[in-house]
Amino acid sequence: MFNITNLASGYGQSQILHDLTLNVNKREIVAVMGRNGMGKTTFFKSLMGVLPQWGGQIEVDGRDVSKMETHERVANGIAYVPQGRMIFPSMTVLENIQTGLPSSAGGKVPDDLYALFPVLHEMRSRKGGNLSGGQQQQLAIARALATNPKVLLLDEPTEGIQPSIIKDIARTLKEIRNMRDLTIVVSEQVLSFTMEIADRFLVIEKGKFVVEETRENVDEAAISRYLSV
C-alpha cells in the first residue's frame, strides 16, 4: 500500500538519508525507532515533500507521488503529524481541525473524529494553545485524520507526554487503524509505546535502516541497545 524505494535526501550538500526501502501493508503499523539525530524527522519530511527528495520512489496505493508537491501528496492520501505537534495556538480547536478538512466537507467535522477524541469536542471553542500537551497531540492527530488519509505518519508522538496519556494515544491509534483500515508509520524512541502498537520494527541509524523485525520475532533488548546512548 505504501512503498518507499531507495529514498535519499539531505540538507544542502550533506546527505542524511541513504537508500531507505520500506514496503508497508494496508492496516499495518510500522515503528521506525532511532536516537536523536538519526534521521527520523528528515525521513518524514522527505516523504511529505517538505524536503527535496534526492532520489528514490514513493508510492501510495499504486500511485507514484515522488514528483508531487506536499499538498498533492496529502490529496493522494498521506497525512503527517509533525514532531512537536505544530498546532495553531491562537486558533480554536475546531478551527485547527477544520484546516485539515477538504473543502467538500464544508467545515463539518466528521462525527467519528469527535467519537475518537471526545475531549476535542468538549474543548472545541478553546484556543489550541491552551490545551495540555497530550490534548494538543490528540488535536494534531485529529487534524491529520480530517484529510481522510490512507497513510498516517507520526513523528515521535509521545515526546513530552506522561505515561497514562501515552497509553491513551496507543489505544486510539489502534482504534483508528481498525476503524479506517489505516496504514501507520510512527517514529519513536519509546520502545514500550511501540511494543503496544507496532506490527513491525525498524531501527534507523545515520539515515540507514539497520534492523527490521516483525512483532513475532522482535528482540526488545537489541532494539533498546540502539536507543540508549
Ligand X SMILES: Nc1ncnc2c1ncn2[C@@H]1O[C@H](COP(=O)(O)OP(=O)(O)OP(=O)(O)O)[C@@H](O)[C@H]1O
Quick one: which of 13, 36, 217, 228 contacts ligand X (CB under 6 A)? 36
Angle at Cα 30 formed by Cα 28 and Cα 31, nearest 5°?
A: 155
| Residues in 79-118 at the binding interface with Mg ion, rule: CB under 5 A | 83
Task: Name residues whose C-beta falls within 8 Å of residue 217's C-beta, 6 or more positions apart in sequence.
Answer: none
Residues facing residue 187 across a β-bridge: 32, 155
Quick one: which of 1, 9, 40, 149 contacts ligand X (CB under 6 A)? 40
Residue number closest to Mg ion, CB atom: 41
Judged by beta carbon distances under 5 to 8 A according to partner kind, the member of ligand X, Mg ion, none in contact with residue 42 is: ligand X
CB of 149 to ligand X, least distance (A): 21
Asked whether the beta carbons of 148 and 160 are under 8 A apart, the reply is no
Helix, strand counts (H, E) of the chain: 9, 10
Asked whether the beta carbons of 186 and 2 are under 8 A apart, the reply is no
Quick one: which of 6, 11, 214, 225 contacts ligand X (CB under 6 A)? 11
Asked whether the beta carbons of 73 and 49 are under 8 A apart, the reply is yes
Which region, judged by CB under 6 A, interacts with ligand X, from 35-43, 58-66, 86-94, 191-199? 35-43
CB of 193 to ligand X, least distance (A): 14
Asked if 208 is part of the footprint of ligand X (rule: CB under 6 A), the reply reads no
Quick one: which of 41, 136, 158, 189 contacts Mg ion (CB under 5 A)? 41
Task: Name residues whose C-beta falls within 8 Å of residue 191's C-beta, 6 or more positions apart in sequence.
Answer: 33, 220, 223, 224, 227
Which residues would be at the binding site for Mg ion (CB under 5 A)? 40-41, 83
Name the residues that contact ligand X, by CB under 6 A. 11, 16, 34, 36-42, 83
